[in-house]
Structure 1
């Protein structure tokens, strides 16, 4: 079921939603993870992961177009009202846990780089207060935040990529393709999670004014983010040696040390502060998906489910260390199995059901 036209957005804005959902804290640290899998051939894995996400976008549009609604409508069409909402509940939990994972990761960055003594509950409360205000304004406000998260930080990202290239060693990338297939597969798997987030489309699809016209903008969004991740990978690989990259937790943030401006001493402070726009927009999108879905499942007002999710998020942000690693591990597994395995199967099942109904008619 499509949303009211007053709450819908133009098709071209899907480009910014895709960018917002894919560019989070992952781009600040994924270079070290993928390099540990396939060395400096890992940039090829990033391109391959981008191609896989393009296929996933096509699958989602096919699935949602057949159901003419969101993922909850897909489940109720196939499994019925009770079982369909029960299955949808777990996907809503995934959206919420994904937002918590992003929040915990960004709080860690703030504590390490800017405010080491500030408690996690203060940072999480301040961020989630802004997110709650944003989500309460409705989906169109979230789209506006996604647009801002694209416009302003891009200037800083371009500056960040220019300075390291002055002393880059492109010979680091040679020889090409000197790793095994399994190493490349592990690199692709890690890259897929880093550029994940497009699955939010499963919830905001009914809020697109002309979904078919927005398909090309969704593919362009994935193409742009794949290009951005690839450039970030190549810049990091040509600047750091492999041994340096193994011990650098946030390679892209470490690149800010190369930026020297006469009027600015600590560029990383500006970079992290501006990056808060991206993080707030991303958390707002995931929390909107989760609270919107829980509203449809339990027939409760969205502001109550949103408030509950924010309070639980603040509590979970108290945990760190092993909890953060465990959460990331489960989020990665849920992302791969639910969206890249389950959703294509769901498309096949729905296609057979629709074909069977047409034959009966």
Structure 2
């Protein structure tokens, strides 16, 4: 079992908002609107609300389990399934978070290669990013959460989209309610990858002061991202026609090309470079969890295993050559995220609830 966390290593409950916001406001936000809009068109905003409702329910399930056991998922696995099966589940989550790290690092490098430096090789930027990530993670959980505060600055950058009002075509929002429930559900499924990251709460729980009070902030963080996703989908509809959006990979950056200031000629360069503020909180938290799982499983120091894990991430990132490889990793991540969020967490909640009732009746 994990030992009690000293208070000096914990964060206040309101910072749960930052953790959730930073995990959900990743680089994949830049293309989150493409597939939902192609499937559900102008009704895609309904898919966002439907997916968000499911996420709020999953968060409530997670906190019911966490509040009952007052520890993180690593120890809960051991309690519920025994040592060996529990350790296997823990290692599966470590692999999952490492793949999420690989996915986000490669996405960031692709953004820089496409929008800023087309001739840049993958490995030098990957090495620099992971060296910075090593420094951040080695400073501890509180510093990682502090870095997550910088992701909120991207919300300010997102607000510049309102300068595009002259280019909006509001008639694209009509006719409303013209798509079938199947299309709306399919679009909501595609949006699941955008909400991946809430499972991080299962491992951060012991590092939050009075963690039972953090549930409200977790819901608030999810709600804030829901509003951003609704706005992004609506902006995608009123800015692009469906046949145009079908050929866009990064509509979130393409729209920056419409923004013009007297002192900035290519604003999309700023938008592309600013994605680094979204990158480090995600990879920091993911690798921190993976290294903590290794510490828990193999009784090694977290700082000892950290370079090894970052080395694996570096090799994996360099092995993804192009957009086809990125799409393959994205498909695996989407299926894994759906399985973790909408299958495993509800199953764990039901199993733990039934187990508690059986124990209570004895």
2-structure distance, mates of 1:75, 1:240? 47
1:224-243 to 2 correspondences below 5 Å:
224-243=224-243
CA RMSD of aligned residues (A): 1.3
Stretch moving more, 176-185 or 231-240? 176-185
Q: TM-score normalised to the size of structure 1? A: 0.96
Give the superposition deviation at 1:356.
2.5
2-structure distance, mates of 1:124, 1:227? 32
1:1-361 to 2 correspondences below 5 Å:
2-150=4-152, 152-159=153-160, 161-318=161-318, 319-321=320-322, 322-360=324-362
2-structure distance, mates of 1:153, 1:38? 27
**How many pairs were matched up?**
358
1-structure distance, mates of 2:329, 2:217? 32
Residue 338 of structure 2 aligns to a residue in which SS? helix
User: What residue ranges of structure 1 are gaps of 5+ in the alignment?
Assistant: none
1:43-91 CA-partner distances (Å, limit 9, x unpaired): 2111111111111111111111122111111111111112111111101
Alpha carbons 2:37, 2:233 under 8 Å: kept: no
Alpha carbons 2:66, 2:72 under 8 Å: kept: yes
1:280-310 CA-partner distances (Å, limit 9, x unpaired): 1111111111111121111111122221121
Give the superposition deviation at 1:350.
1.3
Residue 317 of structure 1 aligns to a residue in which SS? helix
2-structure distance, mates of 1:316, 1:87? 22
1-structure distance, mates of 2:57, 2:293? 25
Alpha carbons 1:9, 1:140 under 8 Å: kept: yes
Alpha carbons 2:41, 2:237 under 8 Å: kept: no
User: What residue ranges of structure 2 are gaps of 5+ in the alignment?
Assistant: none
